[in-house]
Amino acid sequence: AYHVDTSNVSEVSDWACKRGATLTHCNEKFTEALELLQNHAELRNEASDYSRALAFRRASCVLKSLPFALTDVQQLIGYKDIGEHVRKVLADILDYGSSPEVEEIRNSEWFHKMKLFTNVFGVGPAIAKSWIDKGWQSIADVRLAGSISKDWRISWGLAFYEDLLTPVTVQEAEAFETLIRTEMKKISPLSIVTVTGGFRRGKSNGHDIDILMTHPDEGAESNILSKLMGALNKCDLVLKGYFTKNTFSSEMLSDDSKKGLRSHFDHFEKWIGICKFPKSFQTDRKLQSVRDSSTTLPESAQQLSHYSGTIQHQDVLPSEHVNISADNTMSPCSKHTFKTDDKQKSLTLKRERTEMLEDSSPKSKRFKYEDLSEKEVISLANSDRNWTARRVDLIVSPYSQYYYALVGWTGSKHFNRDIRLYAQKVLGLRLTSHGLFDMKKGEALPASCEEEVFRHLQLPYRDPTERNC
């Protein structure tokens, strides 16, 4: 069933992860329609809808990697992922300019409401359906109903619906990244901070910001997240979120259950929540331009300080102490080099370890807005404010798993799904965000850069911008 032709590299592969896909391509009219059908199947969320959604996505990915604009469905003969249903949709678009099936869904009230409601942070298809069953038509209707959920994500998601629905821009992502780097340099100068998710794949906006962090000294990463959140709280940038502890154990690498392929859940320590972004994040060109020039980072923190009032300008170690390459990924195989001499490095590590011992009770930490009542959250949202609420995911990986975490958190979701299935079916390897496990040999395959991950998988290296499957 999983035939892979390795004899001719230029031949179009059955695997999306082998072909790669860029953000823009010449079949967008078709992929938009297919992804609407995918989205519709995901929202229906009944027995067979998962595989229907997947089939539409696979077909869409074939069109993304076509080197020409489709003019005739005959051009798709021989492509594994193009079934009868998809062929009909494409033929309709080619013949009449649109597909009746797609347009009916696009104009249906149910689809509108499902999209509207699942856009609320914390709301999935099941809750959205229950709201529709209650007769609610709009966010205003849901808001009028009052306390409808014990889940803080839903109360905050409803209160800040408009903020969170407005796409995060690349300017905001870069401004936030700069701020995180500045704070992390104070907390742990050797730590590595990378923006992942859609922004790393070259998207110009997103529904959130995903930041992956690690530390080259294995184990030293375990305290950086609670310290970082403490620092962000001091800057009054934290609204609400939750911590997840690292629950990884090495047996999970070889866990053969199907679960790993279907969900992208991992076991990293993380903070998932909502932050305050000063309005200046959207416009401040100066903040953007400091990106590659680490010596100007402390000034950027000062620039922000009039919004928060609490950012302290501290002495930041000179830039040689920071091992971040221009593309922010610290890759020892390519651009990365350690600039710090060993003596300085060991001193820094010693200082960091001492600080971590001193500050080992993060439980006592309370964030400013953590305990607001639902009413208080609503009045905060309705207050006159110079900031926007933004969804933020902060993930911490041990360095030994970092390059697998980087591939996983860069995505796309479908790229992950495809590359993991490919690893299993073709190579008998189990790929997760924690590592790669050879099921036959019973051993893990470590990687010290992303290129090595692809080498282990016998795949041509794909730049993040080519992982938009």
Q: Which stretch binds Mn ion (CB under 5 A): 73-81, 105-113, 217-225, 390-398?
A: 390-398
What secondary structure, in 3-state letters, does 104-163 show?
HHHCCHHHHHHHHHHCCCCCCHHHHHHHHHCCCCCHHHHHHCCCCCCCHHHHHHHHCHHH
Q: Which stretch binds Mn ion (CB under 5 A): 114-122, 386-394, 420-428, 451-459?
A: 386-394
Residue 278 interface partner, choices Mn ion, ligand TTP, none, CB cut-off 5-8 Å depending on type: none
| 3-class SS of residue 463 | coil
In angstroms, the CA 399 to CA 416 distance is: 20
Shortest reach from residue 347's CB to ligand TTP, in Å: 35
- Closer residue to ligand TTP, CB minimum distance, 3 or 258: 258
- What one-letter code names the amino acid at 428? G
- Closer residue to ligand TTP, CB minimum distance, 8 or 263: 263
Residue in 217, 359, 393, 451 binding Mn ion, rule: CB under 5 A: 393
- Closer residue to Mn ion, CB minimum distance, 306 or 413: 413
Residue 265 interface partner, choices Mn ion, ligand TTP, none, CB cut-off 5-8 Å depending on type: ligand TTP
- Closer residue to Mn ion, CB minimum distance, 20 or 273: 273
183 binds Mn ion (CB under 5 A): no
Shortest reach from residue 64's CB to ligand TTP, in Å: 15
Structure tokens at 161: 């619906």
- Closer residue to ligand TTP, CB minimum distance, 242 or 265: 265
- Closer residue to Mn ion, CB minimum distance, 183 or 208: 208
Tell the burial category of 217 from Cβ atoms under 10 Å away from its Cβ (0-12, 13-18, 19+): middle
> What separation, in Å, do the N-terminal and C-terminal C-alpha atoms of the chain show?
21
**How many other β-carbons are positioned within 10 Å of the β-carbon of residue 109?**
9
Q: DSSP assignment, residue 466?
A: G
Shortest reach from residue 155's CB to ligand TTP, in Å: 21
In angstroms, the CA 339 to CA 434 distance is: 27
- Closer residue to ligand TTP, CB minimum distance, 449 or 469: 469
Shortest reach from residue 148's CB to Mn ion, in Å: 23
Tell the burial category of 192 from Cβ atoms under 10 Å away from its Cβ (0-12, 13-18, 19+): buried
**Whose CB is nearest to Mn ion?**
197
Shortest reach from residue 128's CB to ligand TTP, in Å: 18
Q: Quick one: which of 25, 59, 23 has its CA closest to 41?
A: 59
Q: Convert residues 260-299 into a mask of x (bound to Mn ion by CB under 5 A) and - (unbound).
A: ----------------------------------------
Residue 412 interface partner, choices Mn ion, ligand TTP, none, CB cut-off 5-8 Å depending on type: ligand TTP
In angstroms, the CA 87 to CA 27 distance is: 14
- In sequence order, the 6+-apart residues with CB closer than 8 A to the CB of 99 are 33, 88, 89, 92, 93
- Closer residue to ligand TTP, CB minimum distance, 313 or 413: 413
Q: Convert residues 203-222 into a mask of x (bound to Mn ion by CB under 5 A) and - (unbound).
A: ---xxx-x------------
| 3-class SS of residue 310 | coil
Shortest reach from residue 4's CB to Mn ion, in Å: 29
Phi first, then psi, for residue 309 (nearest 5°) are: 75, -10
106 and 36 in contact (C-beta within 8 Å)?
A: yes
- Closer residue to ligand TTP, CB minimum distance, 58 or 185: 58
Q: Quick one: which of 23, 41, 163, 176 has its CA closest to 101?
A: 41
Would you mind telling me the total number of residues written for the chain in this entry? 469
Shortest reach from residue 311's CB to Mn ion, in Å: 25
- Closer residue to ligand TTP, CB minimum distance, 239 or 290: 239
Shortest reach from residue 145's CB to ligand TTP, in Å: 28
Shortest reach from residue 108's CB to Mn ion, in Å: 23
- Which residues sit at the interface with ligand TTP, rule CB under 6 A? 197-198, 203, 206-208, 210, 264-266, 408-409, 411-413, 416, 433
Q: Which residues bind Mn ion (CB under 5 A)?
A: 197-198, 206-208, 210, 393
